[in-house]
Amino acid sequence: GESVGLHLPTLSVQEGDNSIINCAYSNSASDYFIWYKQESGKGPQFIIDIRSNMDKRQGQRVTVLLNKTVKHLSLQIAATQPGDSAVYFCEVGTGGFKTIFGAGTRLFVKA
Amino acid sequence: DAGVIQSPRHEVTEMGQEVTLRCKPISGHDYLFWYRQTMMRGLELLIYFNNNVPIDDSGMPEDRFSAKMPNASFSTLKIQPSEPRDSAVYFCASRWGRERPQHFGDGTRLSIL
* pLDDT tens string B74-90: 999 999 999 999 999 99
pLDDT digits (tens, 9 = 90+) for B40-72: 888 899 999 999 999 999 999 889 999 999 999
Per residue in B94-104, pLDDT tens? Answer: 999 888 999 99
Q: Are A43 and A91 in contact (CB under 8 A)?
A: no
Lowest mean pLDDT among A25-29, A94-98, B78-82: A94-98
Alpha-carbon dihedral B26, B56, A25, A42, rounded to 10 degrees? 40
Tell me whether residues A101 and B42 touch, CB distance under 8 A.
yes
β-strand partners of A4: A25
Chain B hits for A102, CB-CB cut-off 8 Å, are 42
Q: Cα–Cα distance between B53 and B73 in angstroms, integer?
A: 13
The pLDDT, as a whole number, for residue B39 is 83
Closest residue in B to A92 (Cα) is B99
A1 pLDDT tier (thresholds 50, 70, 90): very low
pLDDT of B1: 62
Say yes or no: A70 contacts chain B, CB-CB below 8 A: no
Name A72's Cβ contacts closer than 8 Å, sequence gap at least 6.
A22, A23, A24, A25, A66
**Segment B20-27 mean pLDDT:** 98
Quote the pLDDT of residue A99: 79
Across the interface, which of B42, B45, B104 has its CB nearest the CB of A103?
B42
Tell me whether B103 touches chain A (CB under 8 Å): yes
Distance CA B72, CA A58 (A): 34
Give me the residue from B43, B105, B106 closest to A101, CB to CB.
Answer: B43
pLDDT at A96: 61
Q: What percent of chain A has pLDDT over 70?
A: 90
- β-sheet bridge partners, residue A19: A77
Count other Cβ atoms within 10 Å, centred on residue B43: 24
Instruction: Please check the confidence at residue A7 and state whether its pLDDT lies above 50.
Output: no
Q: What is the pLDDT of residue B2?
A: 83
Average pLDDT estimate for A23-47? 94
B100 or B8, greater pLDDT: B8
Neighbours of B8 (CB within 10 A): 13
* CA nearest to B45 within chain A: A100
Q: Which residue has the higher pLDDT, B36 or A9?
A: B36
- Answer whether B84's CB lies under 8 Å from B15's CB: yes
Output the average pLDDT for chain A.
Answer: 90
Q: Is the peptide bond before B81 cis (omega within 30 degrees of 0)?
A: yes
Triad B32, B53, B64: Cα angle to 5°: 80
Closest CA in chain A for residue B105: A43
- Look at residue A97 in the predicted model and tell me its pLDDT: 66
